[in-house]
Amino acid sequence: MITEKLQNAINDQIAAELWSSNLYLQMSFYMEKEGWEGAAHWLGKQAEEEREHALDMARYLMKRGGEAKVSMIDVVPQGWGSYAEVFKHVYDHECHVSELINTLVDVASGEKDKATQDFLWGYVREQVEEEATASAIVDKIRKAGDAGLFYIDAELAKR
């Protein structure tokens, strides 16, 4: 059985993952409107991945006897500016999600719930990859300049 404190913390993370999914979906819409189909595709895949994280956490919570809840999801931003600004926001957001996951691990540790700690370590490791990927895209955009964005956009479409 999972503690109420940990159940609430995981439900908060489920809401955060769903907000992230909506954020990336809105970014995808924005980039498609701007004519960047590769970035739109990449961001759409990212939105799907974040939704899967929420579902995975909900399933885990229910397996442990907890109740998964979808709380109200706040509105996401609607516009970001340049290609570079969009992906800088992606990187910053992934760093924020890493902080949220680390805090959730701390709650599980405080509750002495080793199974949940073990479950969450997979997300800690995944966040390292998410941050590194976003950072690499930001770096490539910076190095490529405006003319190189067409190449980067084509590469992002391959995801």
Q: How confident is the model at residue 79 (pLDDT cuts 50, 70, 90)?
A: confident
Q: How confident is the model at residue 81 (pLDDT cuts 50, 70, 90)?
A: very high
Residues 6 or more apart in contact with residue 37 via CB below 8 angstroms: 31, 153, 157
Please determine, for residue 4, whether its predicted confidence score (pLDDT) is greater than 90. Answer: yes
| Residue 156 · residue 148 · CB < 8 Å | no
Q: Where are the alpha helices (DSSP H) in 64-113?
A: 83-110
Among all chains, which residue has been given the structure tokens 């899967």? Answer: 52
Structure tokens belonging to residue 8? 């609430």
Cα-Cα-Cα-Cα dihedral of 127, 128, 130, 131, to 10°? 110
Check which CATH number belongs to the domain holding 65 and give it.
1.20.1260.10
Tell me the average pLDDT of the chain.
Answer: 96
Please determine, for residue 35, whether its predicted confidence score (pLDDT) is greater than 90. Answer: yes
User: Could you give the number of structural domains in the chain?
Assistant: 1
Structure tokens belonging to residue 135? 């950072």
Residue 36, Cα to own-chain centre: how many angstroms? 21
| Domain assignment of residue 72, given as a range | 4-156
R_g (Cα) of the chain, nearest Å = 17
Mean pLDDT value across residues 66-80? 92
Please determine, for residue 96, whether its predicted confidence score (pLDDT) is greater than 90. Answer: yes
Residues 6 or more apart in contact with residue 143 via CB below 8 angstroms: none
Among all chains, which residue has been given the structure tokens 């809401």? Answer: 15
Amino acid identity, residue 148?
Answer: G
Structure tokens belonging to residue 144? 């490529």
